[in-house]
Amino acid sequence: MNNLAAKLSPEQYENNFAEIHPPFSHNSAVAEANRCLYCYDSPCTKACPTHIDIPAFIKKIASGNLLGSAKTILESNWSALTCAKACPVQVLCEGACVYNDKEEPAIQIGRLQRFAIDNYFKSGMPKLFSPKEKNGKSVGVIGSGPAGLACAAELSLLGYKVTIYEANKIPGGLNTWGIAPYKTRQADSLKEVELVKSFGVEIKTEILVGKTISFEKLSKTHDAVFIGIGLGESTNLKIPGEELNGVVNAIDFIEEVKKEKWDSVKVGKRVAVIGAGNTSIDAATESKRLGADEVMILYRRSREEMSAYDFEFELAKNDGVIFHFLTAPKRIIGNSSVEGIECTKMKLGEPDEKGKRKPIEIPGSEFVMPVDMVIKAIGQSAKTKFLNSITGLQVENGRVVVNPDNYQTGNEKVFAGGDCINGGKEVVNAAYDGKMAAHGIDGYLNKTAL
Ligand SMILES: Cc1cc2nc3c(=O)[nH]c(=O)nc-3n(C[C@H](O)[C@H](O)[C@H](O)COP(=O)(O)OP(=O)(O)OC[C@H]3O[C@@H](n4cnc5c(N)ncnc54)[C@H](O)[C@@H]3O)c2cc1C
């Protein structure tokens, strides 16, 4: 990258990455809690993938029982702080709030959850849960993202000895390394890691299973194994010029930003982000907040087919990100570094097998845009090489196939959950999978003990 964006002052960076949903004060939390109608059929609880008893935790805030409120939340979700700050609440719990039908603002469930959980961590994580006596069995968990942590926490409380094997130096998965810093910081994720460790879970970092230690060896060491390895690298564009200096993958770029050493992150003056999912939005907004003059998102389909949520789209537009729909990159131009991107205009054809209208190139519509950085954000690949090396594991379209009732894979002592089984959803889905898989493992190990 020849043309780096101008450096900002430390205050400007902090301002640009300030929380988009600030915390409630005590009085405003209680006032908001008292707006809740405590619906008998709680549609919010049904809409939450972890089924937190939302009216119950809100009632406890209203009555001043903040630790009881935190306990209700944590009983369902071990990534409660991250979810409070980063869940797409508009399409989940808050989207289901009955106030939406009454043309009143929905209860701010995310911010209330944060209020209760912030208080829990600020109070020094008082003991709310007591692990059962150790039952002599051990489980190995691969990956310390929300799926692995939830599985480990739950198993530890059930009396198992649990060891998490994590490739990274700092645990927490994408909660630590992916989510935009204006939603959550690394410190939030690490509080959740500490909570899980407080139940006696051991986390061995810098252990890449399949390399540092073989899967077979790990599997022999434990009575059961949970795989929560998430997804892999950003997918390649497969166009000429991809090797040029200044072409980066979204996951690597976002990881750099998560270190919060803002002035050391390399960002161009004119940035093109390829793809229009939630990761593309994050890469684009983060580039803009790091000081890039112009950031554009290039997407080969139209606004309707874009997978990013509406509120993420609005956020990016408010940050000044420019959207070029029906535009596909053909070639990245430059000598050793990126100087421009050649694109072609597209039109939409018939829907494909997934129901998405197929983009078709318009001949002769090529044009070049000057850019000095290209961020690849067209999806993440699966870790198929590692997964395929495990005996009995079935992998379809890059997803580990599990029994939906107990999360067991084709190898009876191996269970899996999170992004590696769903192809990439949200933290809340991974947290639910991990917890349910723990109960699947418990059922399996109790049966084999008979
Ligand atoms: C850029 C980005 C932004 C996102 N923003 C949001 C958001 O705002 N809100 C939201 O709800 N969701 C968001 N998500 C999605 C969410 O982060 C994921 O759905 C969730 O983290 C998946 O959890 P997981 O435990 O399955 O995997 P991960 O969080 O990916 O964790 C997997 C862990 O396994 C480790 N690992 C992998 N292979 C091995 C191995 N062989 N040996 C040992 N360890 C290994 C990895 O190092 C990693 O720590 C975002 C995702 C991305 C990519």
Secondary structure of the chain as H, E, C letters: CCCECCCCCHHHHHHHCCCCCCCCCHHHHHHHHCCCCCCCCCHHHHHCCCCCCHHHHHHHHHCCCHHHHHHHHHHHCCCHHHHHHHCCHHHCHHHHCHHHHHCCCCCCHHHHHHHHHHHHHHCCCCCCCCCCCCCCCEEEEECCCHHHHHHHHHHHHCCCEEEEECCCCCCCCHHHHCCCCCCCCHHHHHHHHHHHHCCCCEEECCCCECCCECHHHHHHHCCEEEECCCCCCECCCCCCCCCCECEEEHHHHHHHHHCCCHHHCCCECEEEEECCCHHHHHHHHHHHHCCCCEEEEECCCCHHHCCCCHHHHHHHHHCCCEEECCEEEEEEECCCECCEEEEEEEEEEEECCCCCEEEEECCCCCEEEECCEEEECCCECCCHHHHHCCCCCCEECCEECCCCCCCECCCCCEEECCHHHHCCCCHHHHHHHHHHHHHHHHHHHHHHHC
Distance 176 CA to ligand 1 centre (A): 9
354 and 438 share one domain: no
Q: End-to-end CA distance of the chain, in Å?
A: 63
82, 229, 383, 388, best to mutate for ligand 1 pocket (most atoms within 8 Å of CB): 229
Judged against a pLDDT cut of 70, whether residue 410 lies above it is answered with: yes
Q: Output 356 or 138, whichever has higher pLDDT.
A: 138
Q: Is the C-beta atom of 334 inside 6 A of ligand 1?
A: no
Q: What is the mean predicted confidence (pLDDT) over 184-200?
A: 98
Q: Is the C-beta atom of 321 inside 6 A of ligand 1?
A: no
Q: Is the C-beta atom of 112 inside 6 A of ligand 1?
A: no
359 and 253 share one domain: yes
Cα–Cα distances in Å, from 354 out to 21, 67, 91, 395?
35, 46, 22, 19
Residue 50 lies in a domain: yes
66 and 148 share one domain: no
Q: Which two tokens stand for residue 30?
A: 């209680």
pLDDT tens track for 386-400: 999 999 999 999 999
Residue 395 lies in a domain: yes
50 and 35 share one domain: yes
Q: Is the C-beta atom of 208 inside 6 A of ligand 1?
A: yes
Residue 2 lies in a domain: no
Judged against a pLDDT cut of 90, whether residue 3 lies above it is answered with: no
> Smallest Cα–Cα separation from 431: which of 149, 51, 177, 14?
149
361 and 391 share one domain: no
Q: Is the C-beta atom of 332 inside 6 A of ligand 1?
A: no
pTM greater than 0.85 (yes/no): yes
d(CA 437, CA 227): 10
pLDDT value for 28: 98
What's the whole-number average pLDDT of the chain?
96
225 and 258 share one domain: no
Residue 115 lies in a domain: yes
pLDDT value for 352: 82
Tell the residue nearest (CA) to atom 21 of ligand 1. Answer: 174
Q: Which of 69, 92, 122 is the last residue of a domain?
A: 122
pLDDT tens track for 337-367: 999 999 999 999 988 877 888 999 999 999 9
Q: Is the C-beta atom of 78 inside 6 A of ligand 1?
A: no
253 and 370 share one domain: yes
Residue 240 lies in a domain: no
pLDDT value for 2: 65
Distance 231 CA to ligand 1 centre (A): 7
pLDDT over 70 percentage in the chain: 99
pLDDT tens track for 143-175: 999 999 999 999 999 999 999 999 999 999 999
CATH number, domain with residue 293: 3.50.50.60
214, 427, 428, 429, best to mutate for ligand 1 pocket (most atoms within 8 Å of CB): 427
Distance 427 CA to ligand 1 centre (A): 8
Residue 127 lies in a domain: no
Distance 184 CA to ligand 1 centre (A): 14
d(CA 152, CA 227): 11
Residue 365 lies in a domain: yes
Q: Output 233 or 55, whichever has higher pLDDT.
A: 55
> Smallest Cα–Cα separation from 227: which of 334, 114, 148?
148
363 and 390 share one domain: no
Q: Is the C-beta atom of 146 inside 6 A of ligand 1?
A: yes
pLDDT over 90 percentage in the chain: 94
Residue 239 lies in a domain: no
Instruction: Determine the structural domain holding residue 222 and report its residue range.
Output: 138-232+381-449
Q: Which of 122, 147, 180 is the last residue of a domain?
A: 122
Q: Is the C-beta atom of 166 inside 6 A of ligand 1?
A: yes
226 and 338 share one domain: no
d(CA 308, CA 288): 18
Distance 153 CA to ligand 1 centre (A): 17
Measured from the CA of 283, which atom of ligand 1 is nearest? 1
pLDDT value for 449: 61
Q: Is the C-beta atom of 210 inside 6 A of ligand 1?
A: yes
Q: Is the C-beta atom of 183 inside 6 A of ligand 1?
A: yes
Measured from the CA of 418, which atom of ligand 1 is nearest? 26
217 and 309 share one domain: no
162 and 218 share one domain: yes
CATH number, domain with residue 35: 1.10.1060.10
Q: Is the C-beta atom of 254 inside 6 A of ligand 1?
A: yes
pLDDT value for 450: 55
Distance 62 CA to ligand 1 centre (A): 34
pLDDT tens track for 270-328: 999 999 999 999 999 999 999 999 999 999 999 999 989 999 999 999 999 999 999 99
100 and 72 share one domain: yes
Tell the residue nearest (CA) to atom 26 of ligand 1. Answer: 418
Tally of domains within the chain: 3
Answer whether 349's CB lies under 8 Å from 316's CB: no
Q: Which of 376, 406, 441 is the last residue of a domain?
A: 376
